[in-house]
Amino acid sequence: QSVLTQPPSVSGAPGQRVTISCTGSSSNIGASYDVHWYQQLPGRAPKLLIYGNNNRPSGVPDRFSGSKSGTSASLAITGLQAEDEADYYCQSYDTSLSGWVFGGGTKLTVL
C-alpha cells in the first residue's frame, strides 16, 4: 500500500488529453512538500518528468504539465502520442515516515 495513491491505469487515444492523479495526506503533499513526477518506459529506468509540482526539466515537451492543490497533485498529458505509453510515478516527502515516498504508479495506455 503506497503512501501516495495513483490510479493503476489510464488510457487515451492519440491526440487526446489524459490526467493522472496523486492523492496524499497532511503528512506529505498537504504538509506543503512539493510533488515530482517520473516517466518509466518499458524496461528502462525512471526519468524525471516534472519537478516542484509544475516545472519541466530541459528536453521534456510542454505537452506534459503538473499541478498541486491541497493534498493532491495531477499530471496532465496533452496531444497524446504512442511514445507516451509508459508507467508514471509521483513522489514527495512524508513527515510521518521521515523519508521520500512514491505513488504506486499509473500505467498509461495509448489506444
Site residues, other proteins (CB under 8 A) = 2, 32-34, 36, 38, 44-48, 51-52, 55, 57, 89, 91-93, 97-105
| CB contact set of 1 (below 8 Å; sequence gap of 6+) | none
* Whether the Cβ atoms of residue 93 and residue 101 lie closer than 8 Å to each other: yes
**Nearest distance from residue 44's CB to other proteins, in Å?**
8
DSSP 48: E
Kindly tell me the sign of the dihedral angle through the C-alpha atoms of 12, 6, 67, 84: negative
* 77 CB neighbour count, 10 Å cutoff: 23
Q: How many CB atoms are located within 10 Å of the residue 30 CB?
A: 15
Task: CB nearer to other proteins: give 17 or 44.
Answer: 44
Beta carbon nearer to other proteins, 28 or 80? 28
